[in-house]
Amino acid sequence: MFIVLIITFFKVNISISKMSTLILEDSYLDTLNNIERKKHTQKIKIVKQLYIKGPKTNSDLCSDFNISSPTSMGLLSELMTEGLVEKKGRGKSEGGRKPDLYGLRANSLFVLSIAMGRFKTRMAIFDNNNNNITGVQTFPVCIAEGVTAADQLQEYAESLISNSGIDPDKLMGVGVSMPGLVASKEGNNYTYMHTAAEAESLQQLLTRKFNKPVYIQNDSKSAALAEYRFGLAKGRSDVLVLSLDWGVGLGVIMDGKLRSGTKGFAGEIGHIPLENNGALCYCGKRGCLETVASGIALANMAKEGIKSGQHSLLNELSDQKIDSIEPKLVIDAANRGDQYAINILSKIGMNLGKGISILIQIFNPELIILGGRIAEAKQYITTPIQQSINTYCMAQLREKTEIALSNLGQNAGILGSVAVVMENIFEDQLDLD
């Protein structure tokens, strides 16, 4: 379920008769007295709880927030009047009349999710029950250094919203996941879509264009949030999520929270030097993990082997296709029993295992989730990774760490953008209180 309840200083045009005034601009909050502010905070907490935990009884909410039954019922009544909460049947009873369950009203609010990549961008609109109402649609928007992609994003997003048939007033926020060094708190990307020459941050620029609250996040951290809210990390406290794509990204969840570091750059495992005097990485250093354990490394190994005369199903490719080879082609060849493809995937896996061993000994996680294109190789990548971990990691640590493949697949990026907004919108308003 995704719920964003907001009337903001960005002047979102929402009729108060239709929508809740639950999340308000800070200037309006300053006009409230202490009792009104307290009620405002309690309503936010209730809606967030219903979003995360699902339908609850009045008694549950009293216990969760240490408030009286009349207070809780009064807050629920207001939320129902505002069209955000409704009765959801009956709860369990140990005797007597079963209590009413209260949950978020279906199709009351929506979020636009955008997952930007180096070569394409995917978008979808989700309702407050996390139903994908538009399907994931792919658009030819390539992320680049400048901000020209912002206009393209706006154009395609407006088309998606128009064709979806939803009331635009009910679209409460936009989540954008993207590669690069993303400082999510300040709203900038230091690798792509620079706004150095602009008077506003990337987040402010996008907010102005969409006329909706926008939150940006690094794609690997978005994937970690998706796993934590919707995937294998749900209910876990200490989890590492590795995005194995053209590069190698990491999302760190410790003590049940996404850890971002001082600027938001925590998790750049792909640029830790692993080999002395190794290949030059695009970051400017030599021997980074990405040069030996990424989709780029896999494609380069495949090209070099084919051009040097290695026998492989990949030899069937034309010269033009060899130059543009992608990880999926190597994985498909491995699944057809191609020994050369299996061998280079094994090399990638062994190098990844080295890097993962370092992570295990630093973070001592209970679970490591592997996602992205390379993870689609399944046993051809997990077996060498585990072999490498057995070689390079202390037994006491590795025996307590589970390695698993993501069950979210390609949806991790899209779901992650939903989670990005959900993680921020409530907290921003509570901070104002």
Delineate the domains of the chain, giving CATH numbers in brackets: 32-107 (1.10.10.10), 110-224+413-423 (3.30.420.40), 234-407 (3.30.420.40)
Residue 256's φ and ψ, nearest 5 degrees, are: 80, 15
The answer to whether the CB of 168 falls within 8 A of the CB of 159 is no
Beta carbons within 10 angstroms of residue 292's beta carbon: 25
DSSP H helices in 66-187: 69-81, 148-164
The answer to whether the CB of 406 falls within 8 A of the CB of 371 is yes
- Give the dihedral of Cα atoms 156, 16, 48, 86; nearest 10 deg: -110
Beta carbons within 10 angstroms of residue 149's beta carbon: 18
Residue 196's φ and ψ, nearest 5 degrees, are: -55, -35
Tokens representing 241 are: 């999520």
Beta strand pairing call for 121-127 and 110-116 = antiparallel
Tokens representing 128 are: 């407050």
Distance CA 366, CA 271 (A): 24
**What's the Cα-to-Cα distance from 27 to each of 31, 32, 93, rounded to whole Å?**
7, 10, 44
Distance CA 5, CA 45 (A): 12
Beta carbons within 10 angstroms of residue 35's beta carbon: 8
Predicted confidence pLDDT, tens digits, the chain (433 residues): 444 443 333 333 333 333 334 555 555 666 777 888 888 888 888 888 888 788 999 999 999 999 999 999 999 999 998 888 999 988 887 667 889 999 988 887 889 999 998 889 999 999 888 889 999 999 999 898 888 899 999 999 999 999 999 888 888 789 999 999 999 989 999 999 988 767 899 999 999 999 888 999 999 999 999 999 999 999 999 999 999 999 999 999 999 999 999 988 999 999 999 888 888 888 888 989 999 999 999 999 998 888 887 888 887 765 656 777 888 989 999 999 999 999 999 999 999 999 999 999 999 999 999 999 999 999 999 999 999 999 999 999 999 999 999 999 888 989 999 988 877 877 766 655 5
Distance CA 388, CA 281 (A): 23
